[in-house]
């Protein structure tokens, strides 16, 4: 499957987050996430999907199962299924590449 950048679906989950759905299938979904401002955070949450996150740009503080860590461009994280995680955006324009398995059906609605 090939998804051209101009054809990728852009979503706006909240007033600070832009999410572009990349190539996806039954068992995998990729998304580029861009945070416009540093004034908000992603509330700690869980989901049944394994999640890989790669920091493309910026600086964020992730809270993973109660433990805090600062990440910057080039760092990557792995969130196993159902592990609580969230983040605080520390630098305007921070960008992530998120990959989920199985695919996030809720992102495709």
Tens of pLDDT, residue by residue over 48-78, are: 999 999 999 999 999 999 999 999 999 999 9
Tens of pLDDT, residue by residue over 70-102, are: 999 999 999 999 999 999 999 999 999 999 999
What are the residue boundaries of the structural domains of the chain, listed by start? 5-108
Q: How many CB atoms lie within 10 A of CB 90?
A: 16
Q: Give which of 52, 65, 32, 49 is closest to 105, Cα–Cα.
A: 49
pTM higher than 0.85, yes or no? yes
CATH homologous superfamily of 5-108 equals Jelly Rolls (2.60.120.10)
Give the span between the Cα atoms of 17 and 15, in whole angstroms: 6
């Amino acid at each position: 499957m090939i998804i051209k950048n101009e054809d990728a679906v852009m979503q706006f989950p909240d007033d600070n987050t832009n999410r572009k759905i990349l190539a996806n299938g039954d068992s995998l979904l990729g998304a580029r996430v861009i945070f416009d401002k540093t004034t908000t955070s992603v509330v700690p949450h869980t989901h049944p999907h394994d999640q890989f996150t790669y920091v493309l740009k910026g600086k964020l503080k992730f809270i993973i199962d109660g433990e805090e860590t600062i990440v910057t461009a080039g760092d990557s994280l792995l969130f196993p299924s159902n592990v609580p995680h969230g983040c605080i955006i520390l630098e305007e324009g921070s960008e992530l590449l998120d990959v989920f398995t199985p695919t996030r059906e809720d992102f495709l609605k």
